[in-house]
Structure 1
């Protein structure tokens, strides 16, 4: 099922309506969808490098709006909408552990790392941010920075290196971003416990 969903998302890049699909996928990725918008963004930007930044802007705006939708789901509809979504993805127990043990600082760090490296998935963090009541203006600002940085970095890499960077991005960028996310989390833990 997951492979079919991935292939379907990738096929949208060839359509004339690809920009609209990119916005839709980026929006729902931030609150309920399993496949990241990168799957659609990368082939679009590779086929039209002159529009890479335009696509990055579309993906960023839609992703932030989807994150706001996730925040509202968590804040106003946790039991009726968020719990079934989390149970569907098998993330409910992890989510509850995070909810009961996380402070606002850790949520902010997770928002940045999930926006940049999908660790943890952005939908979990947006819903959790609403549940624990992260200030909505702060949430939007951090989401713009995290998601914008990701898509703009991809745009810059694709414009600068073109097709040869595609394999690197698909195979190693997640690992590098993941390592950076782990380093940020460890830094947060050290600062919190030592100081």
Structure 2
């Protein structure tokens, strides 16, 4: 079993835990402000294993993610000087500068697109706070963007349900490496 197969098995075990919704909420909150792993890694297997609860899981993920985004906004607004060295150390400085530039041009729409896309959302929450963009449009765009993404993931995997699991297990290594390559390309494009 490869790297992604091992991780997939681990996440499947976590998603079956009785406290999995709490872990999902905590992961969603943390990812929106400081943690590097997206909540989709738990949302997807939880939705696939328990299709009847997929929309509940998407709601937990969306609300916790938006709350985490509010924390990210607060970090950018109140403590940017303290976190800027961390942004530099983890290699997000180019993405942060790109986010600032995009905010100056597109504002609300940047948050909405960042909330839906695989671009690190935390970069945009911190940049939004640092630039003091309007609070309520920020929250609304976060709800729409994050909600659209997480309900789409949960809905598709609930629709596929347990019959999708063998296919996913068979192709998880390929999917994982393609995802890594796409993320590298996105980071490369953001740093131009």
TM-score range, shorter chain: 0.7 to 0.9
Structure number with higher relative contact order (C-alpha < 8 Å, ≥ 6 residues apart): 2
Corresponding residue to 2:67 among 61, 65, 68: 65
Note if contact 1:45-1:155 (Cα within 8 Å) is conserved in structure 2. Answer: yes
Note if contact 1:112-1:143 (Cα within 8 Å) is conserved in structure 2. Answer: yes
Corresponding residue to 2:44 among 42, 48, 58: 42
Moved over 4 A (4+): none
- CA deviations over 1:91-114 (Å, ceiling 9, x no partner): 124423543x34444343332222
2:134 matched residue in structure 1: 135
- Structure 1 residue 24 displacement after superposition: 0.4
User: 5+ residue gaps in structure 2?
Assistant: 187-192
Distance 1:153 1:103, change over 3 A: closer
Corresponding residue to 2:29 among 8, 11, 27: 27
TM-score between both structures, scaled by the size of structure 2: 0.76
Distance 1:131 1:153 in 2: 30
Distance 1:97 1:48, change over 3 A: closer
Distance 2:158 2:93 in 1: 39
- CA deviations over 1:153-194 (Å, ceiling 9, x no partner): 122212323243874xx749x98xx8xxx9xxxxxxxxxxxx
Distance 1:79 1:151, change over 3 A: same
- CA deviations over 1:135-169 (Å, ceiling 9, x no partner): 111100000000111111122212323243874xx
Distance 1:161 1:97 in 2: 37
Of residues 83-92 and 65-74 in structure 1, the stretch that sits farther from structure 2 once superposed is 83-92
Distance 1:103 1:20, change over 3 A: closer
Distance 2:39 2:103 in 1: 28
- CA deviations over 1:9-32 (Å, ceiling 9, x no partner): 725313211000000000010001
Distance 2:60 2:89 in 1: 28
TM-score between both structures, scaled by the size of structure 1: 0.75
1:192 matched residue in structure 2: none
- CA deviations over 1:69-88 (Å, ceiling 9, x no partner): 000000010011x2133123
The aligned length equals 170
2:109 matched residue in structure 1: 109
- SS at 2:35's partner residue? coil
